[in-house]
Amino acid sequence: MESFESDDGHVIVRLDRGDMVLESIERACTEHAIDTGAVVTGIGTVSTLHIHYVDRTELPDDRADRNVALELQGAWEVTDINGVIADGEPHLHVTAFDGDRTVGGHLETGCEINVLGEVTIRKLSGLSLERRPNEREVSRLQQ
């Protein structure tokens, strides 16, 4: 992983074979002091894709029953990564295609780059955000 920062607050992250996607984005946030920002684009290929998504309209009280987790192997073409960075922590979603199906959801740790990856982060100044759980234990952005 290597990252490059422009004069206007954009950080470009280059991901190489074997790099971990979310872990590298978190590292770039630390290295470039990104507290609040947005991942505005991300592309690449992964050999391991870990995501989760909500598959229901009513949320059960037990948080463990709210999400479906997918751990997929193979050649996945990542068509988009985006989301918000609050208090230095990225909350990102991903869409990927393996030639037969398209999947999308919340990006988890353990997604390994197959060939390459490129991510653009936009630092936001003058705004400080954090996530706090509401009464249903759903993390929500707050200033």
Domain coordinates in residue numbering, the chain: 2-142
Kind of pairing between the strands at 10-16 and 37-54 = unpaired
Share of the chain above pLDDT 90, in %: 85
- Which fold would CATH assign to domain 2-142? 60s Ribosomal Protein L30; Chain: A; (3.30.1330)
Q: Are the C-beta atoms of residues 29 and 85 closer than 8 Å to each other?
A: yes
What is the predicted pLDDT for the residue at 20?
98
Regions of the chain where pLDDT drops below 50: none
Distances (CA, A) of 56 to 5, 37, 79, 121: 40, 29, 25, 31
What is the predicted pLDDT for the residue at 135?
80
| Phi–psi pair at 86, nearest 5 degrees | -130, 130
The DSSP bridge partners found for residue 78 are 44, 96
CA 40-87-105 angle, to 5 degrees, is 45
List helix spans (H) across the chain: 21-31
Tell me: the pLDDT tens digits for 84-111?
Answer: 999 999 999 999 999 999 999 999 999 9
What is the predicted pLDDT for the residue at 58?
79
What is the C-alpha to C-alpha distance for residues 118 and 2, in angstroms, rounded to an integer? Answer: 10
Nearest to 83 by CA among 8, 7, 139: 139
